């Protein structure tokens, strides 16, 4: 593989509808493709914004989307319904449910509402067969408990997006057959403990993402992140797993296709 043809990778989680990218979608996606990022999933975090997120996916080849209510917004947005999420899933480019989850770092006061919202999203993932996209921060015990309880009640697929929690939650997720997604955080110099968690996980359960515009990997840390930078996280991930970039890119892309089967089709 020559340097002119970078290995193809997937940005499994970005936020292309955020104002940071207004008017830049064509250039942004062109830069991503030049870096080998040929597919991306743009995530809607408030269901009232679903039409604009859908429009971005419809306008660009290789761009898919997912929608849900972010846990930090759960208390201020109308409660999603299973029926609403299932109806959205009929769109050919709608490939995942979320992001949903628990955030006790910024919004601990709304924990009960977050948990209710999370269970609604899980039921929608069950009914549609689409993967659940989980945001977890400072809520490891409740997150492991709810995901496990719900999985016993009926299986579903799931990715722990931008995984940066502890080893116990990682193991709980892996035990359920879920995936861990590696973001720019995994490439930060001080993230040795997080890299060790990824290194201990099966390669076939690892995805890549930017969470752009947030969490740019080195050498762009502190700047606006964008899908093209998935390539830098992929390079660090290849190092963590002791693989060539091409082999790591191929493995994580195959993982994406397995979990996000609708995008692969």
Where are the domains positioned within the chain?
Answer: 9-264
Output the six-digit token pair for 152.
Answer: 């016993």
Is position 211 annotated in a ligand binding site?
A: yes
Write out the two tokens for 166. Answer: 């502890």
Phi, psi of 182 (to 5 degrees): -95, 120
User: Residue 151 annotated as binding?
Assistant: no
Dihedral over Cα of 11, 20, 25, 31: its sign:
negative
Burial 144-178 (b: 16+ CB within 10 A, else e): bebbeebbeeeebbbbbbbbbbeeebbebbbebeb
What does the pLDDT look like over 227-236, one tens digit per residue?
999 999 999 9
Is the previous residue joined to 114 through a cis bond, with omega within 30 degrees of 0? Answer: no
Residue reference for tokens 């290789």: 62
Q: 92 vs 60, 143, 162, 257, CA distance in Å? A: 13, 30, 25, 15
Query: Is 247 among the annotated ligand-binding positions?
Result: no
Report pLDDT for 8. Answer: 97
15 a known binding residue?
A: yes
**pLDDT for 265:** 79
How far is Cα 134 from Cα 17, in angstroms, rounded to an integer?
A: 19
Phi, psi (degrees; rounded to nearest 5) at 258: -70, -45
Residues in the chain: 265
Residues 189 and 167: their CA atoms lie apart, in Å, by: 19
Walk along the chain (265 residues) and give the pLDDT tens digit of each residue: 445 789 999 999 999 999 999 999 999 999 999 999 999 999 999 999 999 999 999 999 999 999 999 999 999 999 999 999 999 999 999 999 999 999 999 999 999 999 999 999 999 999 999 999 999 999 999 999 999 999 999 999 999 999 999 999 999 999 999 999 999 999 999 999 999 999 999 999 999 999 999 999 999 999 999 999 999 999 999 999 999 999 999 999 999 999 999 999 7
Q: Are 224 and 232 in contact (CB under 8 A)?
A: no
CATH fit for domain 9-264, picks 3.90.45.10, 3.30.750.24, 3.20.20.140, 3.40.50.10860: 3.20.20.140
Query: Which residue is associated with the tokens 């998935």?
Result: 230
Cα distance between the two ends of the chain: 26
Binding residue per annotation — 22? no
């Amino acid at each position: 593989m020559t340097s002119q043809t970078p290995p193809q990778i997937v940005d499994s989680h970005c936020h292309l509808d955020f104002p940071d990218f207004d008017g830049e979608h064509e250039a942004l996606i062109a830069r991503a493709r030049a870096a080998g990022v040929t597919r991306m999933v743009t995530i809607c975090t408030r269901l009232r914004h679903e039409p604009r997120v859908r429009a971005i996916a419809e306008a660009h080849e290789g761009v898919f989307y997912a929608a849900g209510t972010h846990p930090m917004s759960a208390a201020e947005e109308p409660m999603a319904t299973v029926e609403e999420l299932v109806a959205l899933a009929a769109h050919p480019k709608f490939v995942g449910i979320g992001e949903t989850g628990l955030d006790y770092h910024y919004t601990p006061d709304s924990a009960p509402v977050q948990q209710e919202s999370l269970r609604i999203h899980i039921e929608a993932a069950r009914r549609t067969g689409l993967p659940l996209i989980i945001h977890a921060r400072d809520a490891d015990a409740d997150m492991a408990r709810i995901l496990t309880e719900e999985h016993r009640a009926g299986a579903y697929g799931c990715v722990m997006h931008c995984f940066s929690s502890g080893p116990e939650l990682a193991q709980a997720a892996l035990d359920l057959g879920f995936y861990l997604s590696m973001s720019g955080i995994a490439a930060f110099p001080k993230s040795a403990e997080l890299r060790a968690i990824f290194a201990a996980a099966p390669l076939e359960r690892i995805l890549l993402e930017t969470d752009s515009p947030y969490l740019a990997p080195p050498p762009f840390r502190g700047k606006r992140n964008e899908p093209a930078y998935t390539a830098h996280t992929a390079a660090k991930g290849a190092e963590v797993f002791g693989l060539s970039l091409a082999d790591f890119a191929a493995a994580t892309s195959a993982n994406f296709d397995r979990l996000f089967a609708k995008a692969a089709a």
